[in-house]
Chains A and B, each alone.
Chain A
Amino acid sequence: MSEQPQTQPHSPPKPLLEVEQLKIHFRSRGRLVRAVDGVSFSVGSGEGIAVIGESGSGKTLSALATLALVGGEPGVVSGAIRYQDDTLQTDLLQGIEACFRQEQGTYKPTWKAEGWRHAYRERATALAGRKIGIIFQNPISSQDPLWSVGRTLSESIRLHNPKATRKEASQEAEHWLERVHIKNPAGVMRSYPHQLSGGMCQRVMIASTLAMRPRIIIADEPTTGLDMTTKAQVLYLLHEAREKYGSSLIFVTHEIGLISGLTERVLVMRRGHVVDHFATSDLLDVKMRGETLETSHEFAEHTQDLLRCSLALEERRARVL
């Protein structure tokens, strides 16, 4: 990969999750779409990384692949996803080489692919929730509309701790709602997702993810569609989760302004490639003077474009206020 930077700003202590040369392809109206084309990154224990990029750059897909949530054909075709902590060590994409035949840059599934996908999903289910938790973009539609918030929460708690009785689980669920700063936990427990506001729902989703004590939290644009104050609350909760429970964080977003203070490293993605990789602290002294960026760090061209857009927007906002 010529576009990939060779040196990393600082090497992580011990990678918890390693993604190597991940490729996700789709067939769309006869054409091949290389949605993710050779992406590598790693997350250490307790570390926070941000993945930024425009929509369609493959950042969400790369995150979803760690839990085998990528649908479509042929899907994940090549690469390695390794997870390891003190109790569990697994290579999610084990045996992928035998399942896809390479022909001039495209990957054709062989007869082994179906069985392999099943094994991949099984391995991912073992990780899902307990090791890696995902917070999705649309909090309201990612809860079962016919189940009350309390039942959804209790279900994740009992999944984490199967010995808990129904009553214990619902008590713990209420605790978790308190921990994400919901004022009326008993009332929220009884209500249904569509009766809550977006911000409330996102907090419930964060609670249900945190309740399983995952080692890694993947936040997939968790602030989309929320107003500024709720956005700040959600970011604060994620920050708190890292501080209190020592979780790692993969923060997927297109808003470059949100990541400072939450993550240590930043990956910039574009068209399925990682185009830039730097420490979050490099962003601190970025300033705009007229049309040019003034920084001490050498950013890749695409990162500079993103920064310029974001800063220009901020400036305009400052002028309006």
Chain B
Amino acid sequence: MFQRLQVLLRENPHLFFGLAFVLLLLASCLIGALYPYDPVIARMQGNTPLQDPSWRFWLGTDHSGQSLLILLIKGTQAFFFPGILASFLALLGGISLGAFAGFYGGWIEQIGRYLSTLINSFPNLILVLLCTTVFGPNVYLIAAIVGITFVPHIAEEIRRKVAQLKAEEFVMAAEAHGLQERRILFLHIVWLHCLPLILRQLVFLWSALIILETSLNYLGRGVLQKGISWGKMLYDYRSGLFRGEIWSPLVVTLVVMLTMSGLYLFAEGLQRWSQGKGVLHQEQPLDS
């Protein structure tokens, strides 16, 4: 196990650090979901506001005396479950559209392309703002919109890959062995060959969702009037900025930035991993 990690660190540092970060993020999402925390009670405990980092409060406290670290961890909840919903929708639409369009072509591809253009022609943020105005703020609605706007991206990536693989000889050989077309398409082509690609797109989806959630809450169109989220934290701390209380907003901004970079590192690592997979066992090229 340890040796494998060492190999991973040497061969693909992007994936190593990206994976570490994603695991950390997932862990804090889980802790956030399980850890009981009530901001009202926490405020009544009367901790000194605006403390510096200490052993008790690792990242210090904010203007209401709550621990920043706990707030940040609890804040992940705001996008965790909606993120799962968004991923599910995007995968369902993207994989079925992309796989069928790539494999069969013809009118299925035409319809898919038309749908993609339709979805792509709406700016993301405006669409979300419109929907929250019409249907009222609901975090799952936003997640659904993000999921659907990602369908064309995933479908296009998968379509290209499937169309390319369809011409490969092993697909023909599998057909000649009497495998059902669906099995070849979904087991061999999509599951085995498109998995890194799908994971990569999911990472982009999560980062888009986090950014969107944060900016929405910051704009005050937020969906969480009572709950905790990173965007809401930024919204709460912005008045403090003019009084020189820069520590808490700085920490939140840094965490958002770090999360984005971590996710992109992971995506980059996955890309390199899937590209290098075919040549991993071959001889290393000679360096001159």
B169 near A129 with CB under 8 A, answer no
Query: Given the complex, which residues of A lie within 8 Å of B277, measured CB to CB?
Result: 146
B193 near A146 with CB under 8 A, answer yes
* B154-207 at interface with A (beta carbon < 8 Å): 168-170, 172-181, 188, 192-193
* B268-283 at interface with A (beta carbon < 8 Å): 277-278, 281-282
**Is A309's CB within 8 Å of the partner chain B?**
no
Tell which of A114, A128, A147 touches B176, judged by Cβ atoms closer than 8 Å.
Answer: A128
A141 near B192 with CB under 8 A, answer no
Separation of A44 and B192 alpha carbons in the complex (Å): 40
**Is A194's CB within 8 Å of the partner chain B?**
yes
B281 near A142 with CB under 8 A, answer no
Q: A67-B175, A129-B176, A130-B178 are in contact. Are A136 and B169 (CB under 8 A)?
A: yes
Chain A minimum-CB-distance residue to B179: A159
Shortest C-beta distance, B218 to chain A (Å), equals 44
Q: A129-B177, A144-B188 are in contact. Are A194 and B170 (CB under 8 A)?
A: no
**Is A212's CB within 8 Å of the partner chain B?**
yes
Tell which of A138, A141, A147, A212 touches B178, judged by Cβ atoms closer than 8 Å.
Answer: A212
**Is A33's CB within 8 Å of the partner chain B?**
no
B281 near A125 with CB under 8 A, answer no
Q: A194-B281, A195-B281 are in contact. Are A145 and B170 (CB under 8 A)?
A: yes
Query: Given the complex, which residues of B lie within 8 Å of A209, measured CB to CB?
Result: 177
A129 near B178 with CB under 8 A, answer yes
Q: A144-B192, A145-B278, A194-B281 are in contact. Are A125 and B172 (CB under 8 A)?
A: no
Chain B minimum-CB-distance residue to A194: B281
Separation of A106 and B74 alpha carbons in the complex (Å): 70
Q: Chain A, 134-161, contact with B by CB distance < 8 Å: what is the 0/1 string?
A: 1010100111111100000001100100
A125 near B173 with CB under 8 A, answer no
B176 near A69 with CB under 8 A, answer yes
Chain B minimum-CB-distance residue to A142: B173
Query: Given the complex, which residues of B lie within 8 Å of A141, measured CB to CB?
Result: 168-170
**Is A53's CB within 8 Å of the partner chain B?**
no
Query: Given the complex, which residues of A lie within 8 Å of B278, measured CB to CB?
Result: 145, 194
Separation of A145 and B259 alpha carbons in the complex (Å): 35
Query: Given the complex, which residues of A lie within 8 Å of B174, measured CB to CB?
Result: 144
* A200-239 at interface with B (beta carbon < 8 Å): 205, 208-209, 212
**Is A79's CB within 8 Å of the partner chain B?**
no
Separation of A208 and B170 alpha carbons in the complex (Å): 13
**Is A192's CB within 8 Å of the partner chain B?**
yes
Separation of A125 and B172 alpha carbons in the complex (Å): 12
**Is A133's CB within 8 Å of the partner chain B?**
yes
Query: Given the complex, which residues of A lie within 8 Å of B176, measured CB to CB?
Result: 67, 69, 128-129, 133-134, 136
Query: Given the complex, which residues of B lie within 8 Å of A67, measured CB to CB?
Result: 175-176
Chain A minimum-CB-distance residue to B166: A71
* A82-130 at interface with B (beta carbon < 8 Å): 114, 121, 125-130
Chain B minimum-CB-distance residue to A128: B178
Separation of A136 and B278 alpha carbons in the complex (Å): 22
Shortest C-beta distance, B171 to chain A (Å), equals 9
Separation of A141 and B172 alpha carbons in the complex (Å): 10
Tell which of B169, B177, B192 touches A208, judged by Cβ atoms closer than 8 Å.
Answer: B177
Separation of A129 and B180 alpha carbons in the complex (Å): 11
Q: A147-B192, A194-B282 are in contact. Are A138 and B175 (CB under 8 A)?
A: no
Query: Given the complex, which residues of B lie within 8 Å of A143, measured CB to CB?
Result: 170, 173
Query: Given the complex, which residues of A lie within 8 Å of B173, measured CB to CB?
Result: 134, 136, 142-143, 205
Q: Which 3 residue pairs of A and B lie closest in terms of their CB atoms, listed nearest first?
A: A129-B178, A128-B178, A142-B173
- Which A residues are within 8 Å of any B CB, using their own CB? 67, 69, 114, 121, 125-130, 133-134, 136, 138, 141-147, 155-156, 159, 192, 194-195, 205, 208-209, 212
Q: 5 extra interchain contacts, Cβ-Cβ under 8 A, other than A136-B176, A142-B169, A194-B282?
A: A67-B176, A134-B173, A136-B169, A141-B170, A142-B170
Q: What are 24 A-B residue pairs whose CB atoms fall within 8 Å in the complex? A: A67-B175, A67-B176, A127-B178, A128-B175, A128-B176, A128-B177, A129-B176, A129-B179, A130-B178, A133-B176, A133-B177, A136-B169, A136-B173, A136-B176, A142-B170, A142-B173, A143-B170, A144-B170, A147-B192, A159-B177, A159-B178, A159-B179, A194-B278, A194-B282
